[in-house]
């Protein structure tokens, strides 16, 4: 049995879960999320727990079992607590500002990069003296949050020689040695 899939999911207070056919809808204080589930996977709400089960030990069923359990668990955690990702801009002259849902990035190109963020994501750009600018993204949808953070990071990936670029907070960049002087 799947180690992840067999674990029951606890439903915290203030969160309601509805299962209709193969659509799981989760409502909480922060927001509402829904996820289609493969018709072969059974999702049952018993009291304050959700149980996910599979019909057989086929490879497809095993993989879907753990997948849907994790997706439903992330939905419940998202509508009750929410998720947060911090991005750090490392480089001379790199800046970030936001006006509502519009994120303005200066990343060493000849032009500004403007990103219109979805309404589900709350953004905060902080630029303090003597520290790198940070962009904080918060949302109840973990999939959307990760996708937007990866898109922002893709504009200037961290490079291994000087460490410049956009990196996740706490991420370690593996550094390389530069060219050594030629011997005569």
Query: Do 163 and 90 meet the contact criterion of CB atoms below 8 Å apart?
Result: yes
Question: pLDDT exceeding 70 applies to what percent of the chain?
Answer: 97
Indicate if the pLDDT at residue 63 is higher than 70: yes
Q: Tell whether the model's pLDDT for residue 153 goes beyond 60.
A: yes
In a domain, 180, yes or no: no
pLDDT of 64 higher than 60? yes
**66 and 93, same structural domain?**
no
Residue 173 lies in a domain: no
Is 95 inside a domain boundary? yes
Does 87 fall in a domain?
yes
Q: What region does 130 belong to: left with phi over 0, alpha with psi -120 to 50, or beta?
A: left
User: Where is the domain boundary, 80, 100, 120?
Assistant: 80
For strands 83-90 and 165-168, give the pairing: antiparallel
Q: In terms of Cα–Cα distance, which of 132, 144, 120 is closest to 71? A: 144
Q: What is the mean pLDDT of residues 140-165?
A: 94
Shared domain check, 87 and 76: no
pLDDT at 74 over 70: yes
pLDDT band at 110 (very low <50, low <70, confident <90, very high): very high
* One domain, residues 49 and 100: no
Q: Verify that 122 and 73 share a domain, yes or no.
A: no
Number of domains comprising the chain: 2
The reply to whether 35 and 61 lie within a common domain is: yes
Residue 30 lies in a domain: yes
The whole-number pLDDT of residue 3 equals 81
Give the model's confidence band at 140: pLDDT under 50 very low, under 70 low, under 90 confident, else very high: very high
- 153: tokens are 């990071």
pLDDT of residue 168: 94
The domain of 69 spans 9-80
CA distance 27 to 13: 11
* Average pLDDT of the segment spanning 54-70: 91
* 30 and 82 Cβ atoms separated by less than 8 Å: yes
Q: What percent of the chain has pLDDT over 90?
A: 80
Confidence of residue 76 (pLDDT cuts 50, 70, 90): very high
Distance CA 92, CA 100 (A): 25
Instruction: Report DSSP letters for 80-119, one per residue.
Output: HT-EEEEEEEESTT-EEEEETTEEEEE-SSSS-EEEE--T
Each residue's pLDDT tens digit, 114-139: 999 999 999 999 988 889 999 999 99
CATH number of the CATH domain containing 58: 3.90.930.12
pLDDT at position 179, please? 84
Give yes or no for residue 1 having a pLDDT over 60: no
């Amino acid at each position: 049995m799947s180690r992840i899939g067999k674990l029951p999911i606890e439903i915290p207070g203030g969160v309601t879960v509805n299962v209709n056919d193969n659509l799981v809808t989760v409502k909480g204080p922060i927001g509402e999320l829904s996820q289609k589930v493969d018709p072969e996977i059974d999702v049952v709400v018993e009291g304050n727990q959700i149980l996910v089960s599979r019909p057989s030990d086929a490879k497809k069923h095993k993989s879907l079992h753990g997948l849907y359990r994790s997706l439903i668990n992330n939905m419940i955690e998202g509508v009750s607590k929410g998720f947060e990702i911090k991005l750090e801009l490392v480089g001379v002259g790199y800046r970030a500002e936001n006006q509502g849902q519009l994120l303005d990035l200066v990343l060493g190109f000849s032009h500004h990069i403007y990103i219109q963020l979805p309404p589900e994501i709350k953004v905060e750009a902080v630029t303090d003296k003597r520290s790198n600018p940070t962009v904080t993204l918060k949302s109840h949808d973990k999939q959307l949050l990760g996708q937007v953070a990866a898109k922002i990071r893709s504009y200037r990936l961290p490079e291994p020689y000087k460490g410049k670029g956009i990196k996740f907070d706490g991420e370690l960049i593996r550094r390389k040695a530069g060219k050594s002087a030629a011997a005569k």
